[in-house]
Structure 1
Amino acid sequence: MTCVTARPAGKIDLVDPQEVELVRSAQAGDVSALGTLLARHQAGMRAVALSVLGFGPDAEDAVQDAALTAVRRIGTLRDPAAAGPWLRAVVRNACRLRLRAARRVVPVADPRPPADPATPERILEDHVSRDWIGHAIDRLSPALRQVVLLRHFSDVTSYDQIAAACELPVGTVRSRLNQARAKLSEALLATADEAYDDTAARNAASAREATDTLTAARRGAFATVVADRWSPAMRMTSGQGYRGGVDLAVRGMDLDLAHGVRQKLVHAVTSRDCTVWEMEMISPPDDPHHCPPALVWLMSHREGRVDRLRLFFPAVSAGRTAGASAG
């Protein structure tokens, strides 16, 4: 289950000159351009992670892994117009690595990372982004900075070696590296907000739209909102097996409200052609298990209007075979 952004067979997406320029600038070492590129596609990347791993920290970690992979490998992207599919593929690969790791017993000692011409050391030596990487690492706490420097910028690379060098349990080393990765990923995305204020403003506007949509629904005006903001040809699918159009979406919302079910926005992120709204589902007091605890709206846009909606229930999906996806 993933956000539908592909066009019908025989049609080709128009090339976005601004995006092509962002990719070229990022490949030349402009980290703010890379941060902006990631911010533009964050919703699509997040949708892929949620569809493969379900709602939770693993999905967040996979998106963060993908962001840091983009720092190392943006130079390998041959077609600047294909940044979106490339980033989503990077997220999907990160998710699959996590699924494979969960299926096997992971030894305490991990091998040295394979040789990679785009290692952090190489970036520091040869890439214009070396100043950003250095400053980002400097902003980490001393405890996190120490394990990052050992892991990525020394010959002491295995968790066992780092644990011995720092006199820490191996589990603590893993935890600190995870925290460092998250902070570096956040710093990378923050460069987009610093250079392009519209990124944060766009996500805030999407959050307001989600809240306004839920408020309108509670007062019986959901159909009006849908008519104003969604395409009449919008197609909807649901993790519960429902398929239909605008009428199904309106009936479903009205039926939930009639049963006392409420939704509360938890998080909103949007890009040029994809939006993710993460909702808390609140069951009626007399039927506390009426609905799953969470719901994700995965929406794609065309010409400024919602043309695809996938309602995704993470708790339900977690009980199914991981990795299955549908367009």
Structure 2
Amino acid sequence: MTMVPDTEHAEDAALTRAAQSGDVTALGLLLERHRPGMRAVALSLLGPGPDVDDVMQDAALVALRRIGDVRDPAAVGAWLRMVVRNGSRSVLRVAGRTEPLADVPLPPTSATPEGVLDAHAMRDWIWEAVEDLSPALRLPVVLRYFSTGMTSYQQIAEACGTPVGTVRSRLHQARASLAKALEATASGAHEDVRHRTEQSWLDVRDTLAAAERGEYDKVVADRYTPGVTLLSAGRRIGGSALLVAGMEGDLSAGVRQRPANVIAGRSLVVWEMDLVNPPDAPDHCPPGVAWVMTLEGGRIGRVSLHHTPRPAPSAG
């Protein structure tokens, strides 16, 4: 066994314990460290699209609320991926995403939202972040994430005197704001994450440029392991030869890939791409694809492709 996994587990354990003691920056760093794996789980279940961002934002707030529940600090990565998996399954299971946090246990019913917040190790940061929200966003997010019995959309709608659709919209905005604030706590404190992400943007652009020149096979030989595995829908469909043939086939058909988002971890990289079809074949490919790549010794050992579902045909 190499020392890298042990080192990463030790770092995870230290950050988790710090977060459980009220260090919000430590929680922000944990979310940054495990973002690629968390996003990969969401993409594997939901496919590329806005649901992935919603689930990721939800997971950040669940982590904020429940980091104290983690019993094995060294295994916090698996816990975070479980949170994302539960959220993703709820999206798939419940029409309209009426209960995306159904799997999250509630605190004791004797508590109040204010009591829950005041007892929280990160109460000062949470209160400050909540107070920074507009009044219209503040009440829904407190009820949804910190109340003991007012967590359903219908109950929140009644408390706010607004339609359920408005509650969903406001919670979406509040989640995005609070998740962004959590991410900001890690800004400047984790330069290796920023560097890896910047380098990965360069890599994806270089890869696409090389493919346009007919040199994708050289990229595969240089950056991928000799036994690289290509997967689709979780099943192995080939290796380096199919990777090259697939890229060259799409380019020959006039399909182009445009990078839309990059997430880069030590052992996992996610490239989310928009697919641009030729004018004479607008339905040749789905609208997007995510490359989920596992690294082995700094080279890509597995590539799992997840395509954005095609939009449903209009009724008209």
Give the 3-state SS of the residue equivalent to 2:273 in structure 1: strand
**Residue 174 to residue 269, structure 1, CA distance change in 2 (3 Å):** same
User: Is the contact made by 1:274 and 1:299 (CA closer than 8 Å) also made in structure 2?
Assistant: yes
**Residue 209 to residue 119, structure 1, CA distance change in 2 (3 Å):** farther
2:200 is equivalent to residue 209 of structure 1: no
1:148-173 Cα offsets, whole Å, 9 max, x none, are 34555678936555545544333212
Which residue is 1:303 aligned to? Answer: 297
Give the 3-state SS of the residue equivalent to 1:315 in structure 2: coil
Match of 1:21 among 14, 18, 24: 14
Which residue is 1:186 aligned to? Answer: 180
**Residue 151 to residue 295, structure 1, CA distance change in 2 (3 Å):** closer
**Residue 89 to residue 165, structure 1, CA distance change in 2 (3 Å):** closer
Which residue is 2:69 aligned to? Answer: 76
Which residue is 1:196 aligned to? Answer: 190
Give 1:61-140 correspondences, 5 Å limit. Answer: 61-102=54-95, 115-116=106-107, 121=114, 124-140=117-133
Q: What is the distance in 2 between the residues matched to 1:66 and 1:119?
A: 22
CA-based RMSD of the aligned residues comes to: 3.2
Q: What is the distance in 1 between the residues matched to 2:42 and 2:217?
A: 30
2:136 is equivalent to residue 143 of structure 1: yes
Q: What is the distance in 1 between the residues matched to 2:89 and 2:12?
A: 27
User: Is the contact made by 1:192 and 1:199 (CA closer than 8 Å) also made in structure 2?
Assistant: no
1:120-171 Cα offsets, whole Å, 9 max, x none, are 6556323431121122112222321243345556789365555455443332
1:221-245 Cα offsets, whole Å, 9 max, x none, are 2122222222112111134976222
Match of 1:263 among 257, 260, 263: 257
Amino acid at match of 2:14: E
Pairwise CA distance, 1:178: 2.2
User: Is the contact made by 1:239 and 1:312 (CA closer than 8 Å) also made in structure 2?
Assistant: yes
Pairwise CA distance, 1:66: 1.3
Which residue is 1:321 aligned to? Answer: none
Give the 3-state SS of the residue equivalent to 1:144 in structure 2: helix
1:162-198 Cα offsets, whole Å, 9 max, x none, are 5455443332123212211221112112212243233
Q: What is the distance in 1 between the residues matched to 2:147 and 2:226?
A: 58
**Residue 198 to residue 317, structure 1, CA distance change in 2 (3 Å):** farther
Please say which of residues 52-61 and 40-49 is displaced more in the overlay.
Answer: 52-61
**Residue 292 to residue 115, structure 1, CA distance change in 2 (3 Å):** closer
Amino acid at match of 2:27: L
Amino acid at match of 1:26: A
**Residue 202 to residue 134, structure 1, CA distance change in 2 (3 Å):** farther
**Residue 179 to residue 255, structure 1, CA distance change in 2 (3 Å):** same
Which residue is 2:33 aligned to? Answer: 40
User: Is the contact made by 1:72 and 1:120 (CA closer than 8 Å) also made in structure 2?
Assistant: no
1:255-300 Cα offsets, whole Å, 9 max, x none, are 2212222111111111121111111111222222211111110101
Q: What is the distance in 1 between the residues matched to 2:176 and 2:271?
A: 21
Amino acid at match of 2:184: A
Q: What is the distance in 1 between the residues matched to 2:270 and 2:179?
A: 19
**Residue 15 to residue 82, structure 1, CA distance change in 2 (3 Å):** farther
User: Is the contact made by 1:72 and 1:123 (CA closer than 8 Å) also made in structure 2?
Assistant: no
Q: What is the distance in 1 between the residues matched to 2:148 and 2:218?
A: 62
Q: What is the distance in 2 between the residues matched to 1:146 and 1:33?
A: 27
User: Which runs of 5 or more structure 1 residues have no equivalent in the other structure?
Assistant: 1-6, 319-327
Q: What is the distance in 1 between the residues matched to 2:34 and 2:148?
A: 35
Which residue is 2:307 aligned to? Answer: 313
Q: What is the distance in 2 between the residues matched to 1:220 and 1:46?
A: 31
Q: What is the distance in 2 between the residues matched to 1:199 and 1:144?
A: 31
Give 1:5-20 correspondences, 5 Å limit. Answer: 13-16=5-8, 17-20=10-13
TM-score (norm 2): 0.84
Pairwise CA distance, 1:13: 4.8
Q: What is the distance in 1 between the residues matched to 2:113 and 2:93?
A: 25
TM-score (norm 1): 0.82
Which residue is 1:272 aligned to? Answer: 266
Q: What is the distance in 2 between the residues matched to 1:32 and 1:115?
A: 25
Please say which of residues 185-194 and 237-246 is displaced more in the overlay.
Answer: 237-246
Which structure has more relative contact order (CA 8 Å, sep 6+)? It is 1
Amino acid at match of 1:73: R
Amino acid at match of 1:45: M
**Residue 51 to residue 119, structure 1, CA distance change in 2 (3 Å):** farther
Identity %: 51
